[in-house]
């Protein structure tokens, strides 16, 4: 079974600064997806960024980028120019590319990000 580990329960960053959230995972599969989701106080799950394991290039979405190290099974999220609206719980998630119930997402325990003005 796959596992996802987020070792930082809480992080804080100053507005306009950069912060990196860590995530490691364990799997025996070679092809899969990795995700970062944001959950603000509203509790709505918002997809921040997605990485396909077969792609070597790190995914980027505006101020959000990842450092995907497949051999090390590491998938960190970097938030640049942090904004107050970035404050939220961030979840790292894994999903297999194979079908059926393997489409389910396996989540880490989350990192609560605080942005200080």
Partner 1 sequence: GAVVSQHPSRVICKSGTSVKIECRSLDFQATTMFWYRQFPKQSLMLMATSNEGSKATYEQGVEKDKFLINHASLTLSTLTVTSAHPEDSSFYICSAMSGNSGNTIYFGEGSWLTVV
The CB-of-23 to partner 1 minimum distance in angstroms stands at 12
Give the nearer residue to partner 1 in terms of CB position, either 40 or 81: 40
Give the nearer residue to partner 1 in terms of CB position, either 73 or 95: 95
Strands (E) in 1-117, as ranges, are 3-5, 10-14, 19-21, 24-26, 32-39, 46-52, 60-61, 64-69, 74-79, 88-96, 106-107, 111-116
One of 32, 91, 94, 115 touching partner 1 (CB under 8 A): 91
Residues that bind partner 1 (CB under 8 A): 42-45, 91, 95, 97, 99, 101, 103-110, 112
């Amino acid at each position: 079974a796959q596992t996802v580990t987020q070792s930082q329960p809480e992080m804080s960053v100053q507005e306009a600064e950069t912060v990196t959230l860590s995530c490691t995972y364990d799997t025996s599969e070679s092809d899969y997806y990795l995700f970062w989701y944001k959950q603000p106080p509203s509790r709505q799950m918002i997809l921040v960024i997605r990485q396909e394991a077969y792609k070597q290039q790190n995914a980027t979405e505006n101020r959000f980028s990842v450092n995907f190290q497949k051999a090390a099974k590491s998938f960190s999220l970097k938030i640049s120019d942090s904004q107050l609206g970035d404050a939220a719980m961030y979840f790292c998630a894994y999903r297999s590319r194979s079908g059926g119930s393997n489409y389910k997402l396996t989540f880490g325990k989350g990192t609560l990000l605080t942005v200080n003005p």
